[in-house]
Structure 1
Amino acid sequence: MDNRKRIPPKGAEGERWRPSLQAVRAEIERLQKRRDRRKEVWGIISRVLFVAMAVMLINIYVVRIATVNGASMQPTLQDGDVLLCSSLGYTPDYGDIVVTEMDVGEGDLVKRVIALAGDTVDVDYRTGTVSVNGERLDEPYILESTNLKGDIQFPVEVPVGRVFLLGDNRNNSVDSRRSILGMVPECTLLGKVYFRVFPLDRIGAL
């Protein structure tokens, strides 16, 4: 018996298949392109997530968008005006237009700061005037004299940590004259209004 190892004959059936150098290069190029596409997709996703996070943080800590609802701030602001406000480093001051998160069913609540903690506010409905610490305010920004009464009794002292807010349209405004809102906690202020961005014909700083 012949125990010698038989060598398979050469030919298409006997030879082990080996890829050509060109095929290997093509496969490497295909894999490289697929890896590049994956990197590109993840790059786009990461940029989108970064932008979304940045917008969210800016909206929370730097600039917020608010929309005026109703006529309570006429003539300064009109219904539908779109505003930019910011709470970054903000401390309430007299005359500031602010947005508060207090909800009285009007959406974004935009009012003007009239008095701060420790101040005494008095409203004389006979003369339609407002006084702070005994001094009558000069208010060129209001639509008309303050004649609409609320259920708050005057004079009243503003508690610590709160502000007294009024709308510029004194006879069509839910504000600190009414207990439904009262004197607003400073912590609820979303920021001071700095700019009107819409409508375009009234765009500008406030």
Structure 2
Amino acid sequence: MAQTRSGRRPSLEAIHAEIKRIEQRRERQKEVGGIIGRILFVVMAVMLLNIYVLRIATVSGASMEPTLRGGDVVLCSPLGYKPDYGDIVVTELDIGEGDLAKRVIALAGDTVDIDPGTGAVSVNGKVIDEPYIAEPIHEKPDMEFPAVVPRGRVFILGDNRNNSVDSRKEIVGMVPESTILGKVVFRIWPLGGFGPI
């Protein structure tokens, strides 16, 4: 058995105290490891939920007013989502404004037209009812109408038609379905607007 610096062997009590200190250190390490493991599990679970079940997005700008306002925080559901008429979606297209939140107006194969006089939007020859818009379109679009939505794409517009960068602009155009993060289903902020969309 090792001797102490004074040349004497350690006492039995000193050996037991050292063993107890080692055991306590191992217990603390186990506890810390357990806490770190739980934190990593929660982080991974949140990441997986955010990717596959519900995604969080923040609305940027005034393009979806009055339905959504800049700074609103919404939940999007990507799980098995296929675009449908009237859905508000978030797309990951990057035009320098963050994720785009817009409304699906037309799907692949549809013919979209915008009447330059009234600003009315029609899909496949029928004017669509849009009680959610701030006002009809007054500004001239970048593209020619009528236009057919290509396969694998959708035509999206902001509800605030005269203050929206959307499918009428070349910078966005007809949006690939693959860039859609999901359908907006719930507003979580501000609390005054908390609830389903």
Would you call these one fold, judging by a TM-score over 0.5? yes
| CA deviation vs aligned residue, 1:39-84 (integer Å, no higher than 9, x gap) | 0111111111111222222222222211111111111011111111
Q: 2:29 and 2:190 mapped to 1: Cα distance?
A: 43
Count residues in correspondence.
191
Q: 2:178 aligns with which of 164, 182, 187?
A: 187
Q: 2:146 aligns with which of 140, 146, 155?
A: 155
Aligned: 1:89 with 2:110 = no
The residue number in structure 2 matching 1:7 is none
The one-letter code sitting in structure 1 at the alignment partner of 2:149 is V
Identity of matched residues, %: 69
- Within 5 A, what are the aligned runs for 1:21-170? 21-170=12-161
Higher Cα Rg, which structure: 1
Q: TM-score, normalised by structure 2?
A: 0.92
Which 5+ residue runs of structure 2 have no aligned equivalent?
A: 1-6
Q: 1:113 and 1:96 mapped to 2: Cα distance?
A: 5
Which 5+ residue runs of structure 1 have no aligned equivalent?
A: 1-15
| CA deviation vs aligned residue, 1:152-200 (integer Å, no higher than 9, x gap) | 1111110010000000011111111111110000000011111111111
Q: 1:114 and 1:66 mapped to 2: Cα distance?
A: 21
Q: TM-score, normalised by structure 1?
A: 0.88
Aligned: 1:178 with 2:182 = no
Q: 1:94 and 1:48 mapped to 2: Cα distance?
A: 41
